[in-house]
């Protein structure tokens, strides 16, 4: 194992110097190099982009997959670099249950037929949801994740390096400031060489000790072993450094400051370029957002069309269930004797093709509910606004256009889900669910 003690000691010294500088800055005991206003704005914009991107990403994942356990499972598969298994959507699962129930109740019964129709629509809705989730994941979620896991990690790394370069720069500035202050103080006192006795020789170990105490380099010809053998270590005053020693220390500090300033400027430029790239990130995310909206629009348009088709299919035979239940209402007072006799008979458990009036022969009912022959009642008509477009299934129905106004009324014995609608000279049956009754 290659274990470099010198490198370890050097790294430890750098770390200690940075920690001291950071602590003194927090305590207000050291000066801090401030970045320019434009750079600070870039940093704030980058942080804001990162924070909002994370929130949008998480909430979009919740929108696409409300089940938290399923999201955790997908996250684990993604981290393990494995393909996420296909998952049945809620609509597809509901369609499966409805189909099985229809087969159990009988696919030929009215309930079974309706279950099959609704189940097929739910299956189509589930398939549309699956396509929407897949499209949103590729076109919207993936670019957001790539930014957080790629570009933002690079920006964060370069920002940490810039912070370390700034701490080194400020530490060098502090050392240079102290060295200049000490040089000025040494220049103000008499030279020790002029005031010492003629037979006094300044030991090299004393000079070395002073250099170590004040962070200066050892003089030429002095090694570290002298520091433990000289008898003058304790009594030598550090203040007796000559101005020349302090001049050398100032020159060394200035040289280190120039080097750290160059490194800081270079790292600041690299970080600035990365931060300015956030604008390109916004453009990319804007394009992805448009694609997400388009996918969501297509998804809801498909769902709306599927439900309209289902509503039309159910509306065409919604009146076929009227004859399945017995009527407890008395026959009309003006009914003819044959009609009264028919009212006393039990309801026939068959499914008629057209709505029937309980207690009235089928021929009479057909003639009453023929839109071209019926007349509006003297009272009981209402205005209605059409909510959705509706295509007439046959000649007895009235085609509708969204937002138009029509007159509607009901006839005795009609299916409650249908009304008679009039628009000028046109007349026909209209589904209640497509109308908003106004008065």
Those residues whose C-beta lies under 8 Å from the C-beta of residue 357, and which sit 6 or more positions away, are 364, 365, 368, 369, 412, 413
Those residues whose C-beta lies under 8 Å from the C-beta of residue 52, and which sit 6 or more positions away, are none
The answer to whether 260 touches 118, Cβ cutoff 8 Å, is no
The total of other beta-carbon atoms located within 10 Å of residue 15's CB is 11
**Euclidean distance between CA atoms 181 and 178, whole angstroms:** 5
Q: Which two tokens stand for residue 256?
A: 């280190």
Helix or strand or coil: residue 258? helix
DSSP secondary structure of 262-310: HHHHHHHHHHHHHHHTHHHHHHHHHHHHHHHHHHHHHHHHHHHHHHHHH
Q: Within 13 Å and on the Cβ side, how many CA atoms surround 205? A: 12
Confidence at residue 415, expressed as pLDDT on a 0 to 100 scale: 85
Q: Which two tokens stand for residue 355?
A: 């709505």
Those residues whose C-beta lies under 8 Å from the C-beta of residue 299, and which sit 6 or more positions away, are 128, 129, 131, 132
**Euclidean distance between CA atoms 183 and 207, whole angstroms:** 16
**Euclidean distance between CA atoms 390 and 419, whole angstroms:** 14
Number of residues that this document lists for the chain: 439
Confidence at residue 43, expressed as pLDDT on a 0 to 100 scale: 94
The answer to whether 388 touches 402, Cβ cutoff 8 Å, is yes
Confidence at residue 350, expressed as pLDDT on a 0 to 100 scale: 34
pLDDT in single tens digits along all 439 residues of the chain: 456 767 777 777 777 778 887 887 778 777 788 888 999 999 999 999 999 999 999 999 999 988 787 777 777 777 777 776 777 888 899 999 999 999 999 988 889 989 999 999 999 999 999 999 999 999 999 999 999 999 999 999 999 999 999 999 988 888 888 888 888 887 776 554 554 444 434 444 444 444 444 444 444 444 444 434 444 333 344 445 566 787 888 888 889 899 999 999 999 999 999 999 999 999 999 999 999 999 999 999 999 999 999 988 887 655 444 434 333 344 444 444 443 333 344 443 333 333 433 333 433 334 445 666 667 776 678 899 999 889 888 888 999 999 999 999 988 888 888 999 999 889 999 999 899 888 6
Q: Using the CB atoms, write b or e for 30-66: b if 16+ within 10 Å.
A: bebeebeeeeeebbeebeebbeebeeebeebbeebbe
- Helix residue spans in 80-230 (DSSP H): 90-105, 110-136, 142-146, 152-188, 192-195, 204-214
DSSP letter at 198? T
């Amino acid at each position: 194992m290659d274990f470099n003690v010198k490198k370890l000691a050097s790294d430890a010294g750098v770390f200690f110097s940075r920690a001291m500088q950071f602590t003194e800055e927090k305590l207000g005991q050291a000066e801090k190099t401030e970045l320019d206003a434009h750079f600070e704005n870039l940093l704030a914009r980058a942080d804001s982009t990162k924070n909002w991107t994370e929130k949008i990403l998480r909430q979009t994942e919740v929108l696409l997959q409300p089940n938290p356990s399923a999201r955790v499972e997908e996250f684990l598969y993604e981290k393990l670099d494995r393909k996420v298994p296909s998952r049945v959507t809620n609509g597809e699962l509901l369609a499966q249950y409805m189909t099985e129930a229809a087969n159990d109740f009988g696919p030929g019964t009215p309930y079974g037929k309706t279950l099959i129709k609704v189940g097929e629509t739910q299956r189509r809705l589930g398939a549309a949801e699956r396509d929407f989730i897949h499209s949103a994941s590729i076109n919207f979620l993936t670019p957001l994740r790539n930014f957080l896991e790629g570009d933002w990690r690079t920006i964060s790394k370069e920002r940490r390096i810039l912070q370390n370069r700034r701490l080194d720069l400020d530490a060098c500035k502090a050392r240079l400031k102290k060295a200049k202050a000490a040089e000025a103080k040494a220049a103000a006192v008499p030279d020790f060489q002029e005031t010492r006795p003629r037979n006094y020789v300044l030991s090299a170990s004393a000079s070395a000790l002073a250099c170590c105490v004040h962070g200066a380099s050892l003089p030429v010809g002095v090694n570290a072993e002298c520091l433990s053998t000289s008898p003058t270590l304790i009594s030598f005053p550090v203040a007796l450094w000559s101005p020349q020693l302090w001049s050398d220390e100032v020159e060394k500090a200035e040289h280190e400051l120039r080097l750290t300033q160059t490194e800081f400027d270079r790292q600041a430029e690299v970080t600035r370029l990365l931060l300015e790239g956030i604008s390109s990130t916004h453009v990319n995310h804007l394009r992805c957002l448009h694609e997400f909206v388009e996918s969501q629009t297509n998804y809801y348009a498909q769902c709306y069309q599927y439900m309209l088709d289902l509503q039309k299919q159910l509306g065409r035979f919604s009146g076929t269930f009227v004859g399945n239940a017995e009527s407890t209402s008395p026959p009309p007072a003006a009914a003819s004797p044959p009609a009264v006799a028919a009212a006393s008979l039990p309801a026939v458990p068959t499914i008629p093709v057209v709505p029937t009036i309980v207690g009235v022969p089928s021929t009479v009912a057909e003639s009453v509910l023929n839109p071209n022959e019926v007349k509006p009642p003297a009272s009981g008509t209402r205005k209605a606004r059409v909510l959705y477009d509706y295509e007439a299934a046959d000649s007895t129905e009235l085609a509708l256009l969204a937002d138009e106004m029509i007159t509607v009324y009901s006839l005795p014995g009609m299916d409650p889900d249908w009304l008679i609608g009039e628009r000028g000279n046109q007349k026909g049956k209209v589904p209640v669910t497509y109308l908003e009754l106004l008065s």
